[in-house]
């Protein structure tokens, strides 16, 4: 194990800063040896077998090509849970955990006078399922649904629901098309709709890291420069028809367009519109009531 640490650092020192290499080393050894970080730290003299060394060498070569460590490992952590990820889905970000936290905090407990009625939640553009699976795990009394345009993404999200032992109703749908939801979801009215939609404009590409541009799905990232609110406008219209009275809409937003997106919701007659900063001080979350 100790030798593996030195080997990883030697191989990656021309590609990544030291603190990043140290994190990569722990993650790789946790994954390859199927032990936790504390066990890696305590067992520096553990002998690795030839297959484990081979796996580490393969990972190093992928990292040298700028492939994100989460895709290299095939998994990541989000809101305290493990999630499978590959190039069909975005890598979950810490700021999205804040979005999940707001929903959990604001969702009331079941009303004992309405036996059998569950809070219905819909995640639009679910990707890896990180939002909806986390909500299903922490709101066990809720009935959760998720849609995505990509069947490949839905396959990953289904795996994550099974991995975390929650029930989620997934279905394929293009939110930009003015079409009814597929049966049997067509008539459901939701208490809460959440979305982390594509919101990066094409002109922002030049400032983005190469590992994001080369590996993460562009369909889930980018919107046209001339229409940065494309998904917000459509989701707001959808929510008008599919949210119950006083239902809540939660959106992650591009910090450059947070105020504009919030104003667009007000113009569409949503009330109590809040624009909330993330832990880094960027405009990130919009909460609105119907």
**Domain locations along the chain:** 2-65, 89-289
Pairing, β 81-84 against β 75-78: antiparallel
Q: How far apart are CA 40 and CA 1, in angstroms?
A: 8
The pLDDT of residue 118 is 86
* 265 within 8 A of 232, measured Cβ to Cβ: yes
The 10 Å CB-count burial string (b at 16+, else e) for 254-268 is bbebbeebbebbeeb
The pLDDT of residue 114 is 66
The pLDDT of residue 54 is 96
The CATH code belonging to domain 89-289 is: 3.40.50.150
SS3 state at 124: strand
Q: How far apart are CA 150 and CA 157, in angstroms?
A: 11
Mean pLDDT by 10 residues, the chain (290 residues): 93 96 94 87 88 96 97 97 97 96 90 74 98 97 97 98 98 94 92 97 91 94 95 96 95 96 96 96 96
The pLDDT of residue 87 is 97
The pLDDT of residue 116 is 62
Pairing, β 283-289 against β 271-277: antiparallel
Helix axis angle, 50-64 relative to 2-12, nearest 10°?
A: 20
Residues 6+ away with beta carbon under 8 Å from 198: 125, 219, 220, 221, 222, 223, 230, 231
Output the DSSP codes for 204-265.
Answer: GGGGS-HHHHHHS-GGGTEE-TT-TTHHHHHHHHHHHHHEEEEEEEEEE--GGGHHHHHHHH
The pLDDT of residue 42 is 87
DSSP state for residue 47 in the 8-state scheme: P
Place of tokens 């990883």: 8
Q: How far apart are CA 184 and CA 102, in angstroms?
A: 29
The pLDDT of residue 39 is 85
CA of residue 120 relative to chain centroid, distance:
20
* 211 within 8 A of 63, measured Cβ to Cβ: no
Q: How far apart are CA 75 and CA 280, in angstroms?
A: 25
């Amino acid at each position: 194990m100790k030798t593996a640490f030195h080997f990883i650092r030697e191989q990656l020192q021309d590609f990544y800063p030291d603190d990043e290499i140290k994190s990569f080393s722990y993650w790789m050894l946790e994954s390859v040896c199927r032990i936790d970080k504390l066990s890696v730290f305590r067992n520096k003299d553990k002998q690795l077998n030839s297959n484990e060394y081979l796996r580490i060498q393969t990972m190093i070569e992928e990292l040298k090509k700028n492939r994100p460590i989460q895709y290299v490992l095939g998994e990541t952590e989000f809101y305290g849970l493990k999630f499978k990820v590959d190039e069909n889905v975005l890598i979950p970000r810490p700021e999205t955990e804040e979005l999940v936290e707001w929903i959990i905090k604001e969702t009331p407990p079941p009303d004992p006078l309405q036996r059998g009625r569950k809070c219905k939640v819909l995640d639009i553009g679910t990707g890896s399922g990180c939002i909806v699976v986390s909500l299903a795990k922490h709101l066990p009394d809720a009935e959760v649904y998720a849609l995505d345009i990509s069947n490949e993404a839905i396959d990953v999200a289904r795996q994550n629901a099974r991995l975390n032992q929650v029930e989620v109703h997934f279905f394929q749908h293009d939110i930009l098309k003015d079409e009814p939801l597929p049966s049997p979801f067509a008539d459901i009215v939701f208490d809460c709709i959440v979305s982390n939609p594509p919101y990066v404009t094409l002109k922002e590409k030049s400032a983005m890291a190469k590992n994001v541009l080369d590996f993460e799905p562009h369909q889930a990232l980018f919107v046209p420069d001339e229409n940065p609110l494309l998904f917000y406008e459509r989701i707001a219209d959808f929510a008008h028809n599919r949210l119950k009275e006083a239902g809540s809409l939660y959106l992650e937003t591009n910090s450059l367009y947070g105020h504009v997106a919030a104003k667009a919701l007000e113009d569409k007659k949503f009330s109590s519109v809040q624009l909330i900063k993330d832990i880094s001080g960027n405009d990130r979350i919009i909460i609105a009531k119907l």
